[in-house]
Amino acid sequence: LRGIPGFYSDRQNHFHFVDYKSATGFLIPVKNELGQILALQLRRDDDAKPKYLLMSSATYKDGASSGAPFHVNRYYPQKNKLFTSVIITEGILKANVIAELARCPVAGLVACTTFDDSFVPQLQKVFPNLEECRIAFDMDFVSNDFVKAQRKRLAEYLSAAGLTVKLLTWDKTHKGLDDYLLASRSVSRRAA
């Protein structure tokens, strides 16, 4: 467990998992294109903020920082398909739900700000035939200037790299694309 974010060793070289002030919830793996776990994110089950915490043990013996890697869900039933388009959303759990319901690959950012100059080259390495990115940030961008600015920044960054960018929107009564797809699925089931 040496060097794995969230784990650390004590003086007797016994490994432990970092305790964020007894925060409870469930762990969400942040995976790369091979399905390997890069980091763990805790989805808290209480009302404390922030709701999501990246597990890091950088300040402990044999620990490591998680950084803020982006999550890849290639939608494995079609793993041999050479994808030309990917949805980019904010949130790891959200990316998994969208990939399953939309049946397409999704890249999940830890937060709407967690991309830098290395993001596009990494994305193109994962999806070598990439031509189009569909940004699906939460609909709160309409009233949240910070999210709106990050959405615009990402769009400009992707466009500057020569990629076609589409900004996805949906009924704003559903915050995220995952919520919208789940609601649409429920309506379809009731109609059948």
Segment 118-156, tens digit of pLDDT:
999 999 999 999 999 999 999 999 999 999 999 999 999
- The whole-model pTM stands at 0.88
Contacts 24+ apart (CB under 8 A), 29-36: 29/92, 30/54, 30/66, 30/69, 30/70, 30/71, 30/92, 30/108, 30/110, 31/71, 31/72, 31/73, 32/69, 32/72, 32/126, 33/72, 33/74, 33/126, 35/76
**Tens of each residue's pLDDT in the chain, 192 residues:** 888 888 999 999 999 988 876 788 999 999 988 888 899 999 999 888 889 989 999 999 999 998 999 999 876 655 556 789 999 999 999 999 999 999 999 999 999 999 998 999 999 999 999 999 999 999 999 999 999 999 999 999 999 999 999 999 999 899 999 999 999 886 555 444
Segment 148-168, tens digit of pLDDT: 999 999 999 999 999 999 999
